[in-house]
Structure 1
Amino acid sequence: MSASNFESDKFTPLVGYWCLPSGHLNDDDRHILTDLYLPILGIESFSLYLLLWEKVPNKELVSQRKSHADLMSLLGIDLRRFYQARIKAEALGLIRTYQKKDEIGPYYIYQLIEPLTAEEFFQDDLLSIFLYEQIGESKFRALAKKYSQSKSILNGSNEITKDFLEVFKLNNNDLINTPSQVADVQSDFNGGSDKKKVTLDAEKVPQLDWEFLVDRVDQLYKISADDLLENQELILSLHAFYDIDENVLSNLIGSTANIVTNKIDPVRLKKAVQDRFEKNSNISLRQQVKEEVETPANDNNLDRSEQLLISQAKKLRPAEFLAAEKQRSNGFPGTVESNALRKMAMKAIMPTAVLNILVHYILQTSPTLQLPLMETVANDWQQNNVKTPEDALKRINDFQNRPRNPKQRYNKPRRIEQATDWSKVKAKVPNKKNSATEKNDLQDRLRKLRNKDN
C-alpha cells in the first residue's frame, strides 16, 4: 500500500501533528515492545512509535504543534517510508490516527496506545502466529517461557498478607463518614470514565442484596465474605446479566466452590450459571418467541418485522434475546457466545435494546457471535451516535445501501475506529467449532498481512 493510495494530496511533511497518550508507557511495556512487537513492526515503525511517545506534549499548546518534517528528519526517512511505518503501528493496534483542521490548517492526531501484555499478546492468534513465523520456533518458545508466570509455587502455602486496616489505623468516624475534603477531591475524578461495573438498565435489574448474600453463603457453605468480595465484580455481572436472585446465586456459588479450599471457583460458577440459563431458556423462551407483539402505528417508516424486532429488543435482556434468536434458527446459545455477549454488555457502551439489535444483525450473516466483530460494529455505532434501537436499524440500512470500496480492509477489527465493512471483518473471524476452517482463515489473514507492503 502506497501513500498515494490514501493521503497523497493531504499528507505532506509540512502538515502538523499532535500526540495524545492513552495511558503511560512504562519499562515493562518497552521490554514487550522490544521482544514481541519489534520483529513484526520493523525498526522504522518501532522507532516512530517510541519517538511519538517522546513527543507527547507537556505544557505546549496545540497551536504550537510541530510538522511531520520534524519527525522525518529525526528518523531519517522520507514521506513514503514514514507512512508505511505509521500504518504498521496502526495495524498492530499501537496508534490510532485522526485528521483535524483548525484556523492554522489541517493536522493529524496520533493517539498512542499501550502495547498488550505478554499474556494478551500470546493469546492473540494473529500476533502470536505472525511472531512465530518471523523469529522461528526456538526463539518463540524462549520468549513464551520468559513471559510465562507459574503460580504452582504457591501450592500448599498459607497466605499471611496483612490487610490495609491491620497495618494502618484510621479514625472510626472517618471510616463511616468520609471527610468532606476527601469527598470533594474524589468528586473531581468521578468524570474520568463513563464505564460502569454493571451496564444493564438499572430499572430492569433489581439491586442485589449483598449483605443477605454474604450471610446466606457463610451460613450454608462457610465461604468467607472476603472471598465473595474478591469475586464481587463477577457476581454482580452474573446477577445483572442473567437476573439471578440472591437465593439462586448463593446456591450456585456453594455448589461450584472448590471443595478443598472452600473458595469460589469463577470458571465453574460461570459455567453453572450459563448451563442453568440454557436449560431454562429452552422452556420459557420457546413460548415467548411465538407470542404476537402488538405493534404501534408506523411513525418511523418501519415495517412490521422491524417493529416486532424492536419490541423484542426492548423487552428482553441480552441473554434472553440471544437465546430467542438462536431458537429461531433451531440453534442454541453456546458458552463462548454467551461469554462474549456478557463481556460486551459489561463494557457499558450502549443501551440493552441497542445491544440486542447488534446481536440480531450479526447473527443474520454469521452462525455465532464473536467479541472482536461485536466490538467493531459497536465502535462504529458509538461514533455515529446510535442511541436507540431505531437508530441502530437506520445505521444498518444506511451502511448496507452505501457504495462499497472493494479495496477497503482492516487487519485488526478490535482496534478499528472508522466505519468498517463489517461483512469483510466477519469473514475473518475464526469459527472455533471448525479447526480446519479456523486454520484456513488464519492463513488467509496472515497472507494478507505479509502482502500489505506490496
Structure 2
Amino acid sequence: MDIEPNNNSSKLTPMTGYWCLKNGELSDYNQRVFTDLYLPLVGAEALAIYLLLIQKTTDKRIVTERSNHAELLSLLDIDLKSFQNARIKLEATGLIKNYRKYDELGEYYIYDLYLPLNPSDFFRDDLLSIFLYEKIGQSLFNNLVKKYSVNRDILNDAKDQTSKFLDVFRLNSEDLIDTPNDVSIAQNSMQSTPTKSIELNSQKNLDFDLIIDRASQLYRIEKEDINLNKDLIENLATFYDLDEIVIIDLLGRTMDIITNKIDPSQLKNMVQQRFEQRVNIQTNEVTETTSQLNSNFNRDDQLLIKQAKELAPAEFLASEKQKTGGFTGTVESRALRNLAMNTSLSPSVINILTHYSLQQNTTLSLPLMETIANDWQQNNIKTPEDALKRIQESRSKPRNPKRRYQNQISNNGRVEKGTDWSQVKARPVEQSNQDIQERLNRIRHKENN
C-alpha cells in the first residue's frame, strides 16, 4: 500500500531506501561502449555507481527488504553530495530514470537502469556526440567513429536467402491455431522492456497504418524500416506539428533511392528546411478566447499558457522570434528539438522554457535551457501552469551575490544549482564541428602557453 508522502521527508539522506530495476543484461560489449563513449561524459564515479546499481538489481526480490543509501555510500567510499552529482549525470545521459515512492516503511528511490545506446544511435544523437567531441577532441573522436563504424555496402545487390523459422522447425498445427494455456500465461506475465528512456512526451497520434501503406506503394519503403524509425517520425511530427500526408511526402523525398531505406539524417534536415522556409515568412497568431483563460494568472501569462498549449515547439519558437523581429535559424531549432527529445517535459512545458530563455537572451542559450529543464524534470513540472509557477518561485527567492552558485538540496533530494536561472552564463547553442574545433584549438593553445 502506498503512503501519502510527508513534505518534511522528501530530502535524500543516507537512510533513504532504494530499489533497482534494469532493462536488459549488461554485456562485455555494453561495458566497452560505456567506457569509450559515456565515461568521458559522466566520469569515473558515475561509472562506479552505475555498475554497482546494476549488481544490486539481483540482490533482493521483496521491496520491503530494500537497503538504504548508506550502504551504497560505504561501498563506493563517497559522500552523499558526490553520489548525487554523479547520479544526475547518469540521468541526464539516459542511463538512469529516477522515481520516488512511499510505503509503510517510508520514502525510497527507484532507480530504473537502461543499457548504453548502441554506438550508431549514440553518434546520431546531436547532444551526446557533440558533448563527446568537446570532451575528447577531434583525433580521439574520429578514432572512436572508425572503431564503431560498420560498412554494410557489401550487402548491396545481394539476395536475401535467410531461412524462416517455420521452414526449419515443425510445430503441432493445433498449437499454432490454439496457443497452449501455459504459453499464454507466460506471455501475459511478461512485461515488455523499454529499449530507450529518451522520448518526447505527449506524442502526436499518427496513423502508422496509413503511413506504411502509402509509403510502401509510392516509394517501396518497407514496413520494417518505418517501424525501425517510428520513434524518430513521432518525435519530428510532435515537434514540427506534421500530419501523415506531409510525413509520407518527406519520407519519399529523403529516402536512399538505391536501397529504398529511410535516411534519418536527410529526413531531419528536410523537415528543418521545410519548417524554416514556412515560418520565416508567416507565423501563426493565437487569438484570445477569454473563456479559456486561467484566472490564477495575469492576462499576459494567460495568453502565454494558451499559446503554449496550442502550438508545437517549433511553431512556438518561430512565433516568439518573430515577436521581436527575429527569425528562426537551423542551429537554434535543432538544439531545441534535441532538448525536447532528451527530456520527459511535455511540448507545452518546452514552450514555456523557450519563452523564458528568450526573455533572458536574444538567442536560445543551451546551458540555461538544460539547467531549467533539469530543474523542471526533477520537480515534476507537467503543465505550462506548473512551469510559470516554478519561474515565479525562482524569482521570489532571495539572492546572495556572494554565494549565488552555492549548491542547494532541493525538496526532492537532488543536488541542484540555485534556481535563479537568469544567473546561468549565457552561451549560444552548439555550432558546427568546425566552430567546435576552433574553440578547442584556442583552449589547447592557451594550455600550451
**What's the TM-score once normalised by structure 1's chain length?**
0.66
> 1:52-75 deviations in whole A, cap 9, x for unaligned?
544443246555637847964x67
Match in the other structure for 1:262: 260
Change (3 A) 1:390 1:193: farther
Contact 2:405 2:418 survives alignment (8 Å): no
What percentage of residue pairs aligned between the two structures are identical?
Answer: 38
**RMSD over equivalenced CA pairs, Å:** 5.4
Contact 1:366 1:426 survives alignment (8 Å): no
Contact 1:325 1:360 survives alignment (8 Å): yes
Contact 2:340 2:350 survives alignment (8 Å): yes
Separation (CA, whole Å) in 2 of partners of 1:248 and 1:283: 19
Q: Does the residue aligned with 1:259 lie in a helix, a strand or coil? A: coil
Match in the other structure for 2:191: 189
> 1:20-44 deviations in whole A, cap 9, x for unaligned?
3554533224334556677898888
Among 293, 316, 322, the alignment partner of 1:321 is: 316
Contact 2:60 2:66 survives alignment (8 Å): no
Mapped pair 1:148 → 2:143:
no
Separation (CA, whole Å) in 1 of partners of 2:426 and 2:321: 20
Among 55, 64, 67, the alignment partner of 1:65 is: 67
Mapped pair 1:208 → 2:207:
yes
> 1:102-154 deviations in whole A, cap 9, x for unaligned?
9989998877675666664895555555456xxxx98x479627742232553
Q: Which has the larger radius of gyration?
A: 1
Contact 2:85 2:415 survives alignment (8 Å): no
**What's the TM-score once normalised by structure 2's chain length?**
0.66
Separation (CA, whole Å) in 1 of partners of 2:72 and 2:246: 63
Q: Does the residue aligned with 2:280 lie in a helix, a strand or coil? A: helix
Change (3 A) 1:107 1:371: same
For structure 2, list consecutive stretches of 5 or more residues without a partner in the other structure. Answer: 1-11, 409-413
For structure 1, list consecutive stretches of 5 or more residues without a partner in the other structure. Answer: 1-9, 411-415, 448-454
For residue 383 of structure 1, report the CA deviation from its aligned partner: 4.0
Among 392, 398, 408, the alignment partner of 2:393 is: 398
How do residues 231-246 of structure 1 correspond to structure 2 at under 5 angstroms?
A: 231-246=229-244
Contact 2:219 2:252 survives alignment (8 Å): yes
Match in the other structure for 1:160: 160
Contact 2:18 2:69 survives alignment (8 Å): no
Q: Does the residue aligned with 1:268 lie in a helix, a strand or coil? A: helix
Higher RCO (CA-CA < 8 Å; seq separation 6+): 2
Match in the other structure for 2:304: 309
> Amino acid of the residue matched to residue 151 of structure 1?
N
Separation (CA, whole Å) in 2 of partners of 1:27 and 1:303: 56
Separation (CA, whole Å) in 2 of partners of 1:127 and 1:271: 22
Change (3 A) 1:400 1:299: same
Separation (CA, whole Å) in 1 of partners of 2:178 and 2:418: 50
> 1:308-342 deviations in whole A, cap 9, x for unaligned?
21222232222221211121232232334434444
Contact 1:431 1:437 survives alignment (8 Å): no
Separation (CA, whole Å) in 1 of partners of 2:219 and 2:383: 43
Match in the other structure for 1:27: 28
Contact 1:200 1:241 survives alignment (8 Å): no
Aligned residues: 413
Separation (CA, whole Å) in 2 of partners of 1:40 and 1:376: 17
Judge which range, 357-366 or 422-431, deviates more.
422-431
Change (3 A) 1:244 1:50: closer
Q: Does the residue aligned with 2:392 lie in a helix, a strand or coil? A: helix
Match in the other structure for 2:439: 439
Q: Does the residue aligned with 2:352 lie in a helix, a strand or coil? A: helix
> 1:367-419 deviations in whole A, cap 9, x for unaligned?
44477765553443344343332222111111122134523369xxxxx8757
Separation (CA, whole Å) in 2 of partners of 1:437 and 1:151: 26
